[in-house]
Amino acid sequence: MFTIIIKENTQEMAVAAFEVLREVLDKKPNAVLGLATGSSPIGLYRKMIEDHKQTGRSYKDVVTFNLDEYVHIERNHPQSYYTFMKEHLFDHIDIDLANVHIPNGNAADFDIEVKRYEDELNKFHVDLQVMGIGSNGHIGFNEPGTPFTALTHVEALKESTRNDNARFFASIDDVPTHAVTMGIASIMKAKKILLLASTSYKAKAIAAMIHGPITENCPASILANHPDVVVIVDKAAASLIADEKY
């Protein structure tokens, strides 16, 4: 079930997103958080840091699981999702890095790595999964066509996704071709999901997710079957959502 919140801009989106997170953390200081990379959650991470500095809220008992990581990328590579999380969040709060889980993009054996990650995830129950959405409707790195039953696996990235992410690399040739990602079935186990999207570039994906049909061609459309999904969008990303529905 979707709860849709439409905001004027990304600053207001971040405030609303932090409200959702705060409710979870107030009830459970040792919450299990699913985290994401990309530009969409950055405002929320800023709010978390701000709140940590101002109120002293502690993250030392929080456990985190990131959605995905590029394959064949060193952990300390500037564009690894590990580096992204350190720079945008972990280095600025008191999280215990022992409680942080991010797939190993440099594993010697990815069959072992995907099983290890899913097994680790299954020892916990994610209270809140934060995520963005790809312009083609992908969630995590589950590209169109990925079975809804998928668990953590290695995904070949679509050219459109590689193009979208090329802005972070020196050239398109440097963008990894594969990623380890939590599967759609792994994501659906979260108790609550918070999906953030802004700009008109995401409008089609948001409309396809909300209006359906539920199809593997739009991975995010499966979220209609989840009991608690909060979608926070700006007006541009919401521009193709039919008004009469919300």
Binding site for ligand GLP (CB under 6 A): 36-40, 67-68, 131-134, 140-141, 161, 165
Write out the E strands in 47-190: 63-66, 68-70, 100-101, 128-131, 153-156, 178-181
Catalytic residue among 68, 69, 127, 155: 68
CB of 161 to ligand GLP, least distance (A): 6
CB of 29 to ligand GLP, least distance (A): 26
- Judged by CB, which is closer to ligand GLP: 179, or 241? 179
CB of 174 to ligand GLP, least distance (A): 15
Q: Which residues contact 143 (CB under 8 A, 6 or more apart)?
A: 134, 136, 155, 156, 157, 158, 161, 219
Catalytic residue among 88, 104, 113, 138: 138
Catalytic residue among 143, 164, 216, 234: 143
**Catalytic (active site) residue 99:** no
CB of 99 to ligand GLP, least distance (A): 21
**Catalytic (active site) residue 51:** no
Q: Where are the alpha helices (DSSP H) in the chain?
A: 10-27, 42-55, 81-88, 110-121, 159-165, 184-188, 203-211
- Judged by CB, which is closer to ligand GLP: 29, or 145? 145
- Judged by CB, which is closer to ligand GLP: 107, or 131? 131
> Which residue, among 228, 23, 11, 233, has the nearest Cα to 132 in the 3D structure?
233
**Catalytic (active site) residue 217:** no
CB of 107 to ligand GLP, least distance (A): 18
Question: CA 216, CA 224: separation in Å to the nearest integer?
Answer: 13
- Judged by CB, which is closer to ligand GLP: 31, or 165? 165
* Bond from prior residue into 213 cis (ω within 30 degrees of 0): yes
CA distances from 235 to 4, 12, 16, 238, 243 (A): 11, 11, 14, 5, 12
**Catalytic (active site) residue 225:** no
Catalytic residue among 66, 136, 142, 165: 136
> Which residue, among 221, 153, 228, 139, has the nearest Cα to 187 in the 3D structure?
139
- Judged by CB, which is closer to ligand GLP: 140, or 192? 140
Catalytic residue ranges: 68, 136, 138, 143
